Amino acid sequence: MMQTTVTIGSASNSNINDLAKQVSGHDFSIRPGIGYWRGEVEDSVDFVLVDSGDIRIEAFIRALVEWATGVHSLSPMSEEAVLVTQHEVKVTMRHKPDWLDSLRDHYQYRSEQ
């Protein structure tokens, strides 16, 4: 399972809505924030996807990056305004972790004695 974050600087509310439409086929979260770029404070947004499918992850990244830097955007951003980071996810709430199962089994065993 991989967490992929696409951070887009200089993102306005209208850009965020338009960008979200580009990846509406995915389950993702949006974290609006503040960025600091070349001595200036500006709005930014993180689009966060947790998925294990390489094809879905690549499609998510491509849709956001191409839209943000391409002609579809009202004001295309430079490639420097887009950052893609990935981290391996060991535990999610969708998949119970082994330690939780073992802890539950331990207390179940103790209560039966």
Report whether pLDDT(56) > 90: yes
Q: List the CATH number of the domain containing 44.
A: 3.30.70.120
pLDDT at 29: 93
Give me the domain span that covers residue 105. Answer: 2-112
pLDDT at 7: 92
Q: Structurally, how many domains does the chain consist of?
A: 1
Report whether pLDDT(54) > 90: yes
What is the distance between the alpha carbons of residues 4 and 46, in angstroms, rounded to a whole number?
10
Report whether pLDDT(60) > 90: yes
- Strand segments, DSSP code E, in the chain are 2-9, 28-37, 40-51, 82-88
Instruction: Count CB neighbours of 12 within 10 A.
Output: 13
